[in-house]
Amino acid sequence: MLWIALHTLRGRRVSFAGAFLTLVFGVAMISAAGTVIAVSGDEPGTAGLAARTALAEAGNLLALFAGIGGFLTIFIVASTFSFTVSQRRSELALLRMAGADPGQVRRMVLTETTLLGTAAAALGALLGVPLTSVLSDVLVWKQVLPAGIELPLSPSRLVAPLLVAFALGLVVALLGAWPAARRAGAIRPVEAFREAVVDNRPIPRARWILGVLGLAAGLGMVLSLPRVPPDGQLPLALFTAQPIVVGLALLAPAFVPRLTGLVVAPLTAFTGASGLLARENLRAALRRTASCAAPVLVTIGITGSLLAGTDLLGAAGRASAAKLYTSQLRATGDNLDTAVPGVRAAVLTEEATVSALVQRTSREVTAVGVTGKGLSDVLGLGTTTGDPARLTGSTAMLGRRQAAGFGLAVGDSVILRMPDGTTVPVRVVAVYDGPPLATPLLLPEQLVAEHRTPGSRPPALHLALNDPADAARVENLLTAKGYRVTSTAEWLATSAGFREDGMRLGAELLAWFALLYTLFAVANTVTMSFGERAGEFSQLRLLGAQRAQVLRMVLWEAMGIALTGLALGAAAVALAVGGLWQAIRSAGLDIPLDLPWGPLLSIAAACVVVLLTVATTATTVVMRQSDAR
């Protein structure tokens, strides 16, 4: 089988070129991302806290990069090999007639994958070394990393990321090709006599089950988002679209006949014979149409969900923070005084990040140190259990969902690792409902101040006024004391802007990476599809069709495939983003559903342009080669 696999790879270079380039690009990105992540864990202390923090944030972003890259690689390789097996049904059936058993056919396809994957993974891992500098420059350009930072690259630091990237590339290739290998082994010898491309076989039961499970898993992840801690919401939101996309891709052949009939109907009404032939070709060759539309589905589904989901989470974060901080004014400065005329409640707050050691794991949470009277006047605590007045010394007050997640109740104790690394046992004295998303751990402000680290955010004074119309006078009094005063609404907008900029930046980088990546798949799959139809085009020419008429038919087919992929991708975005929106609304946050139409339309246009260009180019080349014979 090794000799046959080598012969197949040489003979079908065009068919396997897309999978090879996809693997090279994916492994190179994993290699570069892994190098930055490895370096971020041992950056020398001379670089300072800001550089180490920036590298840690970049490492988190690149971990998502690698995860999405791995998913796309598996999907594209699986799609490519599945389509290749469909094109080789007669060839594989002849092998069965010659005496090859199903296991040998499967091993042959997996051998092809191993040879292709080994070469691509090795090349991609090596290309990751120069790509590391390019990636770091992009992160500096996008202000994820500070300007002038130098990554301490050395052979000892490069070995592990390169080996991991190579191994992951080979494993991803085999995972992607395994379903195609199983399909190849199931081909019967009698199919050697099957020449028509008409594919009216029903979807196998296993494919139906996996498709429905994919949709259910994606929607389940969406519905669980409001109950996930804030730090985990963005990573989870970035991956909710993937099982939905897989589910729709598996079920696509069931939708293709009617969907293509709808999207191509306007073309057939105005294009005559070429449009009619295009419609029937699309509806007859279900697997070919579904395989060509699948990369467009992935592109729209993944990128659209990334961009729109990030915007929704940002809006939900703003609305939740507004429900948490109910004060009218916020002041910062030295020696903050809680005794201010005209103020109903004044609470000193200090934000910090601590780790809770619960259930044998360490969970990083946002904490707010508070002191002063009128806590419920400046924070939207909602219904409370316990006594918030006992929040002194080594005590804590938890949000109700947070307490349930930690398995804690009033009277229980938990160990916290403070910002300076000190571990402190605290006792839970109260539990509060709080807003749906932002429910920080509340601690005594003095406890947070005792473990403050250099560069920590300074404390602030939140003020609830007796008369909100008296805000200007109170602001003047505080300004006269040397304090910096802003309205709470203005402060929330500014701080939310910083958080959303970071979220949007990460989503945009991931989205454009996914777009570039899947455009490879669009070009490859369409080239394979239209480049293998020389016999069909020659028969049309013999029947009297002109070259321009064949090209018009191909153009309408490509347009139908593009519109079908866009429709399925829009369905994936609607399920992922619509489900997220409904989950946020059901949690008690009424936010508008605003989609980033500009980027979404640009991505859709890029898919259409690439698909039409590659389809017409491949057809032109095939017809010229046929005419030259």
Q: Residues 130-145: pLDDT tens digits? A: 887 777 777 777 666 6
Statement: residue 46 has pLDDT above 70: no
Give the CA radius of gyration of the chain.
Answer: 29
Extract the runs of DSSP E, i.e. beta strands, from 450-496: 460-465, 484-487
In the prediction, which pLDDT does 370 show? 92
Mean pLDDT of the chain: 80
Statement: residue 398 has pLDDT above 80: yes
In the prediction, which pLDDT does 196 show? 47
Q: Which among 445, 361, 463 has a CA at the least distance from the CA of 396?
A: 445
Q: Which is more confident, 29 or 412?
A: 412
Q: What percent of the chain has pLDDT over 70?
A: 84
Instruction: Report the first-to-last Cα separation within the chain, whole angstroms.
Output: 33
Reported as a single tens digit per residue, the pLDDT across 86-132 is 767 777 787 778 778 888 888 888 888 888 889 988 998 888 888 87
In the prediction, which pLDDT does 70 show? 73
pLDDT band at 431 (very low <50, low <70, confident <90, very high): very high
Across 55-59, 94-98, 214-218, 361-365, least confident range: 55-59
**Average pLDDT, integer, range 1-10:** 69
In the prediction, which pLDDT does 47 show? 44
Residues in CB range of 276: below 8 A, 6 or more apart:
268
Give the Cα separation of 217 and 420 in Å (integer).
Answer: 40
In the prediction, which pLDDT does 41 show? 53
Statement: residue 535 has pLDDT above 50: yes
Across 39-53, 125-139, 196-210, 478-492, least confident range: 39-53
CA angle 193, 199, 205 (to 5 degrees): 110
Reported as a single tens digit per residue, the pLDDT across 504-529 is 666 777 777 777 777 777 777 787 77
Give the Cα separation of 381 and 378 in Å (integer).
Answer: 9
Q: What percent of the chain has pLDDT over 90?
A: 8
Token reading at 50: 């800001």
In the prediction, which pLDDT does 500 show? 60
How far CA 435 is from CA of 227, 249, 380, 438, 553, in Å, comes to 12, 37, 7, 6, 57
Token reading at 193: 């006599």
Reported as a single tens digit per residue, the pLDDT across 601-612 is 988 998 888 888
pLDDT band at 369 (very low <50, low <70, confident <90, very high): very high
Token reading at 294: 């699948």
Statement: residue 561 has pLDDT above 80: yes
pLDDT band at 372 (very low <50, low <70, confident <90, very high): confident
Q: Which is more confident, 288 or 167?
A: 167
In the prediction, which pLDDT does 385 show? 92
199: which DSSP letter? B
Statement: residue 254 has pLDDT above 90: no
Q: Which among 590, 507, 22, 69 has a CA at the least distance from the CA of 319?
A: 590
Handedness of CA 531, 536, 539, 544 (dihedral sign): negative
Q: Are 401 and 439 in contact (CB under 8 A)?
A: yes
Q: Are 444 and 370 in contact (CB under 8 A)?
A: yes
How far CA 516 is from CA of 17, 245, 267, in Å, comes to 16, 17, 29
**Average pLDDT, integer, range 375-383:** 89
